[in-house]
Structure 1
């Protein structure tokens, strides 16, 4: 895609880099961004590739698309791109929700091992697991400030085949993750209403309402998604902040040093819960094409979201364990109960329950945004039909990708998830390892390109960062078990089969569009002079 030896390509094309020599200048000048085009199919890029190249041919295909969808005009969209609307706080809110989402789901860490390992794990693991993901996302998202994220990174590093595979793994995993959230919403709705179980209609209706609500937010644009994320984060953070401020002064530090002992500790549950709750930063890279001044916004947003995540995990646990010393109680949805013990009464538990509802809604809203942008990135890099890349005429959102994710989420919500979640965790780790390898590959492939943000320490820093992340990925895969690993391999095999089918379909479709767009004018003898 990017050829450092081709001055025309490197200065004009945005297939891989947005003129990295003047990247900072471009991002601070919105008008220049608009003129040069942050979309991969910009008018400048059409002149940057010689006639007959794959990129030139794909531009013909994109211009030839004639489909529309409720306000979508593909002829207009072919030379446009989503606007850059996300600022630091919006991106930080979105990033926090796709990674932490509050302390919800973290309770089994205490149950599995007790307070001491839980607190040590929450203090140390983010540095060896979350930080490598965050640093990788910051470097590659500012180097490739376009929608698609890890699809773009892997495709640039290893080619179309692996770019397609990482997109397929993410698509399957995102449907599993997204479909869990309407159920989580229903669980906290049950607690809020004070009932043992919800009727089928209320449970199903609550999930459909949440899905439609998130779809409409994403339909209107990523700016609204970002501000909604900020609101959700505030709703989630307030009750945990109250719990921390009230509980810490009353806590007995001696309790922090208790643990179950090596024999009674469920290390598998401990590590699996800890690692799963501290991952997901790479998802924020899929929205890089809609981030304002990405070279400054990404590092600041990542730092803010990491600090908020660490505080929302570590401090509430430290403030609460004194009031709930039966570690078996620490299971899912235990926070409302322990909050009532710490603060007294039921009002704080009610606030945390409302926070659980907001957390489920915020995570689904953010994950729908990031997973749809991954599909959009696959379409813009010729890995999926270009029709999926069509943007809404007014809101400039990839409505077809958003609709596909919403429909898939609704269908997956009807399935049983125990095994699917285990398969998802394995696929996520394999995807993450491929991203780390792509980071290393791109450092060696383009060593002299100026990077708006670079992982400190040069090649040594990159190797340390990637080695730490890959080791955590291997640990998560081992904890998933052999059955989950073999099932994940079957999903990978499906991706291998889908790729040649996708290539065949795209090639056939491209030829048909080129034939349709190319015609000859009949010869008329009356035109002779």
Structure 2
């Protein structure tokens, strides 16, 4: 093991507010594509409309607030791994990082397949597999070329992906009957499908925290971007949902499955709107893939900088991107892309839920064990308020997990066991110096300027000092960008 970090990466453009909003939007949503199944599973329009009104408050907002506070306190690519490490130690952090990376790879495996589905390309299995591999390779290469390019492309894709729904809403307005929004067939409700659809469409707010080390003035930029993305995501879901369900007869609820918005466009606007929505959906899946891969690959880079995984994952290309993290994430996508949509959805929701339970616990524990931790953005509630705020999302996660099938529970238990085995395997390799690991630089031990901190506070500062040792301050970074 070595304490010497790799050579400094070349100067690279950093993310600003608007590109970061677009990346968070694609980490979480990407537009209304994929919410159609919530209408079918909800037995009509009422439950999904209520879900997209209430769950952003009960689930998305608490997760976004936690992300804004802790990403500003730990503005590094380790993201939530650093938060859990500071609260519970490296073993728990490694396991959360592993399960969330697997969940992210499962999530990303959906998008090349959905891209082909939205274009209605009927390919035989061998050709379809080749197309998935080719799409994964091409999108991974764009990721390799630089995060600033991914951020700018996400901005363009956001505008294009949402544009047909502006037209859809305008055309649907004269046909809307508000009574259709209250339709619900109790016999047709599929609670497992409904909660999995809602949960998948409103989660992953914390994924963007693994990009915090690539953000310009992260302590100021990150909270603004998170809250901007919350409004964009909720609007992108509710407006098309209200337009589509209000304009079509309630009897069509059973037809609302993945991809049905293109049919809504056909019935409301004609073939031209259908083609526009299909093209927007296909491009949205490209944006979703890019954002997810960025988060997953930079998470591996952050874990390598913490000494949790081999130092090779901390190596950057000439474009400032984590080469080996991208290759590893792309391989995971290809391997997992041959599972069915519903299998992937339920597996990744369960895994993601496990990780988020630990993240919420870490948030509360850091409020208790180190209340004086520098938090440039702090949620304006005390420790008790922070704990109460986490109750609704924890209840939702528990509900989703309780509705999971036995197969999902077995598969996720196997993933957790594999993570534990991998952790001890990596630690064994580290002790025997089989491969090179980075060692975060500890903070100065001189306490002459004040009283010694408690051991709990030391744990938190050890993590922050090691991660932030080579990071310029916001002011320094800003000066560097103005002088460049």
After TM superposition, the score normalised by the length of structure 1 is: 0.78
1:107 corresponding residue in structure 2: 36
The answer on whether the counterparts of 1:425 and 1:480 sit within 8 Å (CA) in structure 2 is no
1:233 has 2:158 as partner: yes
Moved more, 373-382 or 200-209: 200-209
Report the alpha carbon displacement of residue 201 of structure 1 after superposing the two structures with TM: 5.5
Task: Name the residue aligned to 1:308.
Answer: 232
Residue 116 to residue 420, structure 1, CA distance change in 2 (3 Å)? closer
> Does the 8 Å CA contact 2:91/2:423 hold for their aligned counterparts?
yes
1:87 is matched with which residue? 16
Query: Structure 2 regions of 5+ residues with no counterpart?
Result: 439-484
After the TM superposition, which of the residue ranges 277-286 and 252-261 deviates more from structure 2?
252-261
Matches for 1:252-271 after TM superposition, within 5 Å: 252-261=177-186, 263-271=187-195
Query: Using CA pairs below 8 Å that are at least 6 residues apart, which structure has the higher relative contact order?
Result: 2
* Aligned residue pairs, count: 435
| Residue pairs, 1:2-21, within 5 angstroms | none
1:450 to 359, 374, 380: 374
Q: Post-superposition shift, 1:483? A: 2.9
Decide which moves more: 177-186 or 316-325: 316-325
Name the CA distance, whole Å, in 1 between partners of 2:255 and 2:173: 20
Aligned to 1:489: 413
Residue by residue, what CA displacement relative to the aligned partner does 1:318-350 show, whole Å, maximum 9, x if unpaired? Answer: 11113242211111111011111122x211111
Conserved? CA contact 2:17–2:225, under 8 Å: yes
Please point out which of 345, 349, 352 is paired with 1:428: 352
- The reply on whether 1:143 has 2:73 as its aligned counterpart is yes
CA distance in 1, matches of 2:356, 2:436: 37
Counterparts of 1:53-132 in structure 2, within 5 Å, are: 58-60=2-4, 62=5, 74=6, 76-77=7-8, 80=9, 83=12, 85-112=14-41, 113-132=43-62
Q: Where in structure 2 are the equivalents of 1:307-326 lying within 5 Å?
A: 307-321=231-245, 322-325=247-250, 326=252
Indicate if the aligned counterparts of 1:82 and 1:397 stay in contact, CA closer than 8 A.
no
Which SS does the other structure have where 1:351 is aligned? helix
Of residues 132, 136, 150, the one that matches 1:207 is: 132
CA contact (8 A) 1:240 1:316 kept: yes
Matched, 1:389 2:314: yes
Q: Deviations over 1:200-241 (max 9, x none)?
A: 465334323321222122111111111111111111110112
Corresponding residue of 1:12: none
Following the alignment from structure 2 to structure 1, what is the Cα–Cα distance between the partners of residues 436 and 95?
A: 26
CA pair 458-512 structure 1, distance change in 2 beyond 3 A: closer
- The superposition leaves residues 341-364 of structure 1 with CA deviations (integer Å, 9 ceiling, x where unpaired) of 122x21111111001111111111
Question: What secondary structure sits across from 1:114 in the alignment?
Answer: coil
Cα shift readout 1:289-337 (whole Å, capped 9, x = no counterpart):
0011112211221122111111111111111113242211111111011
**Counterpart for residue 357 of structure 1:** 282
CA deviation after TM superposition for structure 1 residue 422, in Å: 2.5
**1:64-109, Cα deviation, whole Å (9 max, x unpaired):** xxxxxxxxxx5x23xx487461111111111111111111111121
Equivalent in 327, 339, 353 of residue 253 of structure 2: 327
Taking a change above 3 Å as real, the CA distance of residues 430 and 260 of structure 1, as seen in their structure-2 partners, is same
Instruction: Please tell me whether the aligned partners of residues 196 and 349 of structure 2 are also in contact (alpha carbons under 8 angstroms).
Output: no
CA distance in structure 2 between the aligned counterparts of 1:254 and 1:513, rounded to whole angstroms:
62
1:159-192 deviation line (CA, Å, top 9, x unaligned): 11011101110222122111221111111121xx
Distance 1:362 1:508, change over 3 A: same
Which structure: larger Rg?
Answer: 1
Q: CA deviation at 1:399?
A: 0.9
| 1:290 and 2:214 aligned | yes
Secondary structure in structure 2 of the residue aligned to 1:181: helix
Partner residue in 2 for 1:36: none
CA distance in 2, matches of 1:172, 1:103: 24
Following TM superposition, by how much is the alpha carbon of 1:486 offset from its aligned partner in structure 2, in angstroms? 2.7
The structure-2 alpha-carbon separation of the partners of 1:109 and 1:82, relative to structure 1 and needing over 3 Å to count, comes to farther
Aligned residue number for residue 65 of structure 1? none
Cα distance in structure 2, aligned partners of 1:248 and 1:441: 48
Asked if the contact 1:58–1:382 (Cα under 8 Å) also holds between the matched residues in 2, the reply is no
Report deviation, 1:412. Answer: 2.3
Pair 418,338 (structure 1): closer, same or farther in 2 beyond 3 Å:
closer
User: How has the CA–CA distance of structure 1 residues 315 and 421 changed in structure 2, closer, same or farther, with 3 Å as cutoff?
Assistant: closer
Q: 1:457 to 1:245 in 2, by over 3 A?
A: same
How far does residue 264 in structure 1 lie from its aligned partner after superposition?
3.5
Is the 1:93–1:229 Cα contact (8 Å) retained in structure 2? yes
Distance 1:511 1:281, change over 3 A: closer
Q: Could you tell me how far 1:416 is from its partner in structure 2? A: 5.2
- Cα RMSD between the aligned structures? 2.0
Structure 1, unpaired ranges of 5+? 1-56, 63-73, 515-529
Aligned: 1:221 with 2:146: yes
Q: State whether residues 266 and 272 of structure 2, in contact with CA within 8 Å, keep that contact through their aligned partners in structure 1.
A: yes
> Which of 106, 109, 112 pairs up with 1:179?
109
CA distance in 2, matches of 1:89, 1:301: 7
Query: Are the equivalent residues in 2 in contact too, given 1:236–1:356 (CA < 8 A)?
Result: yes
Q: 1:154 aligned to 72, 75, 84, which one?
A: 84
In the aligned structure 1, how far is the partner of 2:107 from the partner of 2:257?
A: 20
